[in-house]
Amino acid sequence: MNLEVMLPRVMAEGLLIVMAVPDIRKRRIPVLFLALGAAPVTLSLLFKIIAKEPAMMTLLGVLSGITPGIMLILAGRLTGKVGAGDGIVIIMLGVIEGWRGALVILAMSCLLLSLVSIVLLTLKKVNGKTGMPFVPAMCVGYLIWMVGFG
């Protein structure tokens, strides 16, 4: 795999690891960490421009890539169950990996969090109303994406 693909991915995964800590502790992602997500996104877009990818393809890729994250933010606004930070993280990953990657990462993250929730519910460590941090699941989901699909 080439540097143009791996560098933004490694930066994004590193940032997800850093974001996971406050998400686990406080169920919040600091705005500074979300702003730092612009670095791998910008790098990914720069590599696409340097590779002379057509501007319209890059634009369509970005617009389709951010769609899953926007939908997650809207779902969070409607239900109050998902934080906007989680949607912003999916937007970041969508720009880097495209809409298919964002959807697969989101689906894997939901599956992983569901499995963890089932175990914790069975052990009576949480109840049905307990909030769960989503970024750690996205961190693992993204790692699975990079190793198995990307």
pLDDT of residue 117: 94
Specify the pTM.
0.91
What tokens were used for 41?
């996104």
Q: 84-122 vs 135-144: helix axis angle to the nearest 10?
A: 90
Q: Which helix (H) or strand (E) holds 26?
A: helix 3-26
Q: Which sequence spans correspond to the domains of the chain?
A: 3-149
What residues contact residue 44 under an 8 Å CB cut-off, 6+ apart? 8, 95, 96
Residues 61-102 have pLDDT tens digits of 899 999 999 999 999 999 988 899 999 999 999 999 999 999
* Residue whose tokens read 């993250």: 109
Q: What is the pLDDT of residues 95-123, one digit of tens each?
A: 999 999 999 999 999 999 999 999 999 99
